[in-house]
Structure 1
Amino acid sequence: MRLLNTSTIQVEEFLSNEIPEYVILSHTWEEEEITLQDIQAGALNKKGYTKIKTCCSKAANDGFLYCWIDTCCIDKTSSSELSEAINSMYKWYQNSRICYAYLADFEESSASVIENYRSFTESRWWTRGWTLQELLAPNVVEFYSVNWTEIGTKLSLHEQITEITGIDEGVLCGADPSRRNVAVRMSWAARRNTSRIEDQAYCLMGLFRVSMPLLYGEGNRAFIRLQEEIMRVREDYTLFAWSPTIVPGYSDPHISKGLLAYSPSDFIDSRDRWTLRDLSRFVAGCFISFHSTPS
């Protein structure tokens, strides 16, 4: 695992059994992010360097010698390293001492978050697929505005975060997300987006405790593979508790073949819509239909 030294802003590598305490950054990617190659070459004239430098300074002031930032702690030119990193990322966030959630499009003011609630909810950070695990995995999440003024924590803002995300307060206050059924967890991702369609699946692997190889170019097949992996490790019929989503620009919903959903958005109503009786009837009907189909 690579970590940034908060004093030198240089990358250091550690074996899995030698990793020191570290803080971790959650953010949305902007223009001119600093890469690992930029750090190694000393090419630090991009816009993204300010964010890295300020994050390291904040971590150092909090007493930490190391921090982890995805833009420059992963060699994205190596497909094998990228795959290993994405499969490990949930654990890396989970093992961090503090996660700094940096909302680059939220400006603080003298008013509280409650008074600025609309601006807080409209931050792009709440719409990204990857930030879901970055919210859930760490024990401590601290939110910061564009100028690195602390807004609050996952615990202190749990009521507002529940309203924004649909994630119940129990989970935000420390309950294990894996104790929620598959449909509920999928519903947390239903309104989130990723730049690459395959990442809709890859960003959820840690939340469902599964691993699988990355195959960029496979499109929505990645989400099918995710559901297949979930079925292998957990018997939870709420995986089938979804409804086709109407996609803007198409006259018909994007319907997946078989029992598996097309994308996380198909679970958008699953948290509240399906009772246990409804689900039992649905699953029974699917199996009856399957077994009655002529071979």
Structure 2
Amino acid sequence: MRLINTASHDLTEFHGAKIPEYGILSHTWKPDGEVTLQQFVEATADARSPIRLWQGYGKILEACKLARQHQLEWIWIDTACIDKTSSADLSEAINSMFRWYRDSKVCYAYLADLEPGWAEPDPALSRCRWFTRGWCLQELLAPSRLQLLANDWSLIGKRRH
């Protein structure tokens, strides 16, 4: 399992029982602007990389910042932690996804299309793209702690079990 250090943004690979506590980001992908593992490594190494301007890179930085606020040194973010050019890496990720969500300290569900200040009974929550994805159910059920975040990263709800 590859994790991002929330302070340095370095990627580190962990195996078996040596996996530290981590947060996990659940989010929707946009057709452009998401950052691959290779692009993330490049942008982290080069302060002048144009990738740093992409919305997806900013999303990774915000997730790291939020995890640090919760005293988490590590975070898993699918776009930057899975090598999608490797069928073995992709296969392992798909097969391990439920366990990774279950074992996370907290899952941050970032709802990119939900404006801050949402409150019940406003139906805007049910119209969010996040709820239309195939992975949504396991990401709702597997983690012991789930935080729903609006598009400005403000907390709009949470669940603990």
**What TM-score do the two structures reach when normalised by structure 1?**
0.50
Equivalent position to 2:128, from 116, 120, 123: 123
Matched, 1:89 2:94: no
1:151 positional shift: 0.4
Counterpart of 1:63 in 2: which secondary structure? Answer: coil
Aligned identity (percent) is: 48
Q: Which has the higher contact order (CA 8 A, sep 6+)?
A: 2
Is structure 2 residue 88 aligned with structure 1 residue 80? yes
SS at the partner of 2:53? coil
Q: 1:73-100: CA deviations, max 9, x gaps?
A: 0100000110011000100000000000
- Mapped contact 2:111–2:150 kept (Cα < 8 A): yes
Any residues of structure 2 matched to 1:227-266 within 5 Å, and which?
Answer: none
1:70 aligns with 2:78: yes
Q: 2:109 corresponds to which residue?
A: 101
Q: Which runs of 5+ in 1 are unaligned?
A: 156-173, 175-295
Alpha-carbon distance, 1:39 to partner:
1.6
Structure-2 separation of matches of 1:13 and 1:78: 15
SS of alignment partner, residue 93 of structure 1: helix
Corresponding residue number in structure 1 for 2:21: 21
| Matching residue's letter, 1:22 | Y
Residue type of the alignment partner of 2:62 = T
In structure 2, the residue matched to 1:32 is 33
Measure, in 2, the Cα distance between the counterparts of 1:151 and 1:60: 19
C-alpha distance in 2 between matches for 1:125 and 1:113:
17
**Which residue identity lines up with residue 113 of structure 1 in the other structure?**
A
Does the 8 A contact of 1:27 with 1:131 survive in 2?
no
- Please report how far the alpha carbon of residue 17 of structure 1 lies from its aligned counterpart in structure 2 after TM superposition: 1.7
Higher Rg of the two aligned structures: 1
Which residue of 58, 61, 74 maps to 2:66?
Answer: 58
In structure 1, the residue matched to 2:10 is: 10
How far apart are the structure 2 equivalents of 1:10 and 1:40? Answer: 8
1:60 is paired with a residue whose SS is helix
Distance 1:103 1:47 in 2: 14
Q: CA contact under 8 A between 2:113 and 2:151: conserved in structure 1?
A: yes
Corresponding residue for residue 113 of structure 1: 119
SS at match of 1:76: coil
SS of the aligned residue for 1:77 comes to coil
State which drifts further: 131-140 or 67-76.
131-140
TM superposition shift of 1:101: 0.5
Find the aligned partners of 1:108 and 1:45 in 2 and give their Cα distance.
23
- Greater strand content: 2
Inter-partner Cα distance in structure 1 for 2:140 and 2:64: 20
2:151 alignment partner, SS class: coil
Alignment RMSD: 1.2
Shift of 1:132: 1.5
Shift of 1:154: 2.7
- Between the aligned partners of 2:139 and 2:146, the Cα distance in structure 1 is 8
What residue in structure 2 maps to residue 144 of structure 1? Answer: 149
- Alpha-carbon shift at residue 40 of structure 1 (Å): 1.5
Offset of residue 44 of structure 1: 2.7
Code of the aligned partner of 1:47: Q
SS of equivalent to 1:56: helix
